[in-house]
Amino acid sequence: MAAFAYASPIEKAWYYLHRLICGAVLLYLVAPILVIIPLSFNSVPFFSYPMPGLSLRWYEEFLLTDRWQGALHNSIFVAVSVTLLSTVLGTLAALGLSRPNFPWRAAVMSLLISPIIIPVVITAVALYFFYADLGLVNTYTGLILAHTTLATPFVVITVTTTLIGFDHTLTRAAAGLGAPSVTVFFKVTLPLILPGMISGALFAFLTSFDEVVIALFVAGPEQRTLPKAMFSGIREEISPTITAAATVLILLSITMLTTVELLRRRSERLRGIRNT
């Protein structure tokens, strides 16, 4: 606050009150998540404070037992497959929507992002009955396609946002100099929209990696993902290993979101929106 020395008492009071409110809201949102992390180091199999001691036994169980390792491998396999598929589909959709003469752009955009607006349980029930007729229930293909339905809108939104400031004269200039369409895309368009594509891919990965409702409907015992294993563990037994798994997911989400923010700033610098 550069002019803080010249501010009135009311402005100074509002300056501190504003920050106090922001801190309270942030604490309200983050506190339930932060409570889980210390419990993952508890030495006893109870969810209680104060903790009698610290231990890594729940992380050892999470990282070394076949039950949790199988679920973790399934989640990584499904999430990577969903990321690749949704990134390709979402980028193609965003490029098509960015064309100046694209008809019914608003209606098509609303249709594409509808999976993240509709309650996920409704989507899960619809996908279950649809995939049941096609024989895709209890298969990896069905689970990957179902998660791709949820993840693709995030890629569409991030790439479309990147294309808002895109200078189309660059592609027209490259085409005017005789470059084929494929060369124009890989040499001009792709480097400029790449930060948006990577951000969308990270959101798609997290969407699939953390999803549990659709997995409960579409996935079978062979496709048991980590969130599904955690949900089943809560229903069948309250094991502190769940807190270790939750801590790993929290750290993964923080890493992904930090990467997305860095990519967003880089994208703004490339488009000339941000100077530093």
85 vs 32, which has greater pLDDT? 85
User: pTM for the complete prediction?
Assistant: 0.77
HEC readout, the chain: CCCHHHCCHHHHHHHHHHHHHHHHHHHHHHHHHHHHHHHCCECCCCCCCCCCCECCHHHHHHHHCHHHHHHHHHHHHHHHHHHHHHHHHHHHHHHHHCCCCCCCHHHHHHHHHHHHCCCHHHHHHHHHHHHHHHCCCCCHHHHHHHHHHHHHHHHHHHHHHHHHCCCHHHHHHHHHCCCCHHHHHHHHHHHHHHHHHHHHHHHHHHHHHHCCHHHHHHCCHHHCCHHHHHHHHHHHCCCCHHHHHHHHHHHHHHHHHHHHHHHHHHHHHHCCCCCC
Which structural domains are found in the chain, ordered by start?
Answer: 65-270 (1.10.3720.10)
- With a cut of 80, say whether residue 155 has pLDDT above it: yes
- The per-residue pLDDT for 24 is 93
What are 33-80's pLDDT values in tens digits?
888 888 888 777 777 777 777 778 788 888 888 878 888 898 899 999
pLDDT digits (tens, 9 = 90+) for 180-238: 888 888 888 888 888 888 888 888 988 888 888 988 888 888 888 888 888 877 776 67
Please give the pLDDT value at position 174.
83
Express each pLDDT in 118-142 by its tens digit.
888 898 899 999 988 888 888 899 9
Q: What percent of the chain has pLDDT over 70?
A: 93
Average pLDDT, the chain: 83
